[in-house]
Amino acid sequence: MRHLIISLAVILLPISASAFEIEERVVFGAESNPQTLRVISTGDVRVFEPMISGFLAENPAVTVDYTVVSSSELMKAIGIEEATFDVAISSAMDLQTKLANDGFTAPYSSQATDALPEWARWRQDLFAFTQEPAAVVLSKDAFAGLPMPQSRQDLISLLRQHPDRFQGKIGTYDLRDSGLGYLFATQDSRTSEVYWRLTEVMGALDAKLYCCSSHMINDVASGKLAIAYNVLGSYALSRVDKDRFVVMLPSDFTTVMMRTALIPQNAQNKELAEPFVDYLLQVAWNKTGQHSQQPYDSTAMLAEREDSLRRIRLGPGLLIFLDEYKKRSFLTAWENAILQE
């Protein structure tokens, strides 16, 4: 019953009045449909496609306009420019929390939202639908002959022992650009000071900074990078070339983030947004049927490392590191560590 037509819109289509950068934009469903659901998301469209198709199968009169941006651009779009999207999905829990805290979200409750465990929801505004670990992606080729590190400490030791091998071959998020990267880094720093030591070691080895997980993994796969730190494990596992690298969840602690969806306060199509959110949540949390549509399903991966998982909690605590002052201090310290000129 495939009566949906996927039309690929032009990538990087500049939308007239927007000042935020779009990475990709795809429209699912017939253009002629009267109702269009505008979704802004940090998630890869291919990963979300099964779920969206499932939703359209149940709602054929709807068109889904899916725009992909980075987490900081999403923040800009919803929080500053107040662009009219109906659903905002992001992996940056802290930014989503700030949007909800500062009144940019519309509350929504339904049977599906009520069924969520209380740590998977913040107020009636944020709804989590994945649990994804921050992983270290290691190139198999680059580590040939070396024991695979299992923890950050292992990594530090290895880097110290073989500086030449890894010089310029380490990649991580540029915290100044990536909201998710910043989130992972700050959470790591809260957990253990080993983060700072690792960062300094990486900086000493001229680490490369990236905006996005996908680019980092590409470079690991192609051999340009040996190590990518704090990559989204789910991204890595979803790639077709995953045999070329190892996705390591550090045994000392593994930070786990939850991807969240919210309905912006100024959404035009709340009547569409709400069933969409319900559908997303049911796909994610129902243990039946639609499992295959679940984006970024990392259950198996997480099960292996249950003891060392450190789940990031939704709540106002996440606002701390977004404080300008605090952020400035942190970034200064981070720059000092990672950019050793």
Partner 1 sequence: MSAEVHSRGSIRRRLMLQLLLGAAVLAIALFFIVQSLARQLAEESQDNILAAAVSAILDTTSVRDGEIQLDLPYSAFSMLSNISNDRVFYSVRFGDDFVTGYNDLPTVPKDDGFGPWFDTATYQGDEVRIVTAERRLASRGKPLAVEVTLAQTRDGQRDQLRWISQIAAALGSGFFISVAVLAALTARSSISPILRLTKSVSRRGPKDLRPVAAPVPHEMAPLVAALNSFMDRLKNSLTRSEEFIADAAHRVRTPLATVRTQAEITYRRVEKDENRASIREMIRAIDESSRAAGQLLDHAMVTFRTDHLEQEVIDLNSLADEMIERLHPMAELREIELVLVQQNAVSTVGDTILLQSALRNVLDNAIKYSPADSTVTLCVSLDAGMAHLTTTDCGIGLPEEDAESLKSRFARGANVEGVIGSGLGLTIADEVARAHGGYLTIANNSKGPGACVTLSFPLQ
Point out which residues bind partner 1 (CB under 8 A): 100-103, 122-123, 190, 313, 315-321, 323-326, 329
Q: What CA–CA distance (Å, rounded) separates 328 from 72?
A: 16
Helix 194-204 and helix 179-191, axial crossing angle in degrees, nearest 10: 130
Minimum CB–partner distance for residue 160 and partner 1 (Å): 29
DSSP H helical ranges for the chain: 45-58, 71-75, 93-101, 111-114, 152-161, 163-166, 179-191, 194-204, 213-222, 233-238, 270-285, 299-304, 324-338
Minimum CB–partner distance for residue 123 and partner 1 (Å): 5
Minimum CB–partner distance for residue 46 and partner 1 (Å): 34
Q: Which residues contact 96 (CB under 8 A, 6 or more apart)?
A: 88, 90, 126, 260, 262
Q: Is 307 or 325 the residue whose CB approaches partner 1 more closely?
A: 325
> How many other CB atoms sit within 10 Å of the CB of residue 233?
25
Q: Which of 42, 40, 8, 17 shows the shortest CA–CA distance to 235?
A: 42
Two tokens, residue 190: 């809260």
Q: Is 7 or 336 the residue whose CB approaches partner 1 more closely?
A: 336
Q: What CA–CA distance (Å, rounded) separates 74 from 90?
A: 8
Q: Is 140 or 313 the residue whose CB approaches partner 1 more closely?
A: 313
Two tokens, residue 16: 């007239």
Q: Is 12 or 333 the residue whose CB approaches partner 1 more closely?
A: 333
CB 188, CB 195: distance < 8 Å: yes
Q: What CA–CA distance (Å, rounded) separates 62 from 3?
A: 12
Q: Which of 129, 127, 81, 130 shows the shortest CA–CA distance to 104?
A: 81
Q: Which of 324, 305, 330, 332 shows the shortest CA–CA distance to 131?
A: 305
Q: Is 46 or 326 the residue whose CB approaches partner 1 more closely?
A: 326
Minimum CB–partner distance for residue 99 and partner 1 (Å): 11
Q: Is 207 or 267 the residue whose CB approaches partner 1 more closely?
A: 267
Minimum CB–partner distance for residue 306 and partner 1 (Å): 23
Minimum CB–partner distance for residue 153 and partner 1 (Å): 23
Q: Is 289 or 317 the residue whose CB approaches partner 1 more closely?
A: 317
Q: What CA–CA distance (Å, rounded) separates 171 from 240?
A: 21
Minimum CB–partner distance for residue 124 and partner 1 (Å): 9
- Residue whose token pair is 């022992």: 161
Minimum CB–partner distance for residue 231 and partner 1 (Å): 24
Q: Is 118 or 341 the residue whose CB approaches partner 1 more closely?
A: 118
The CA–CA distances, whole Å, from 90 to 55, 76, 166, 247 equal: 19, 12, 32, 22
Q: Is 291 or 328 the residue whose CB approaches partner 1 more closely?
A: 328
Minimum CB–partner distance for residue 321 and partner 1 (Å): 8
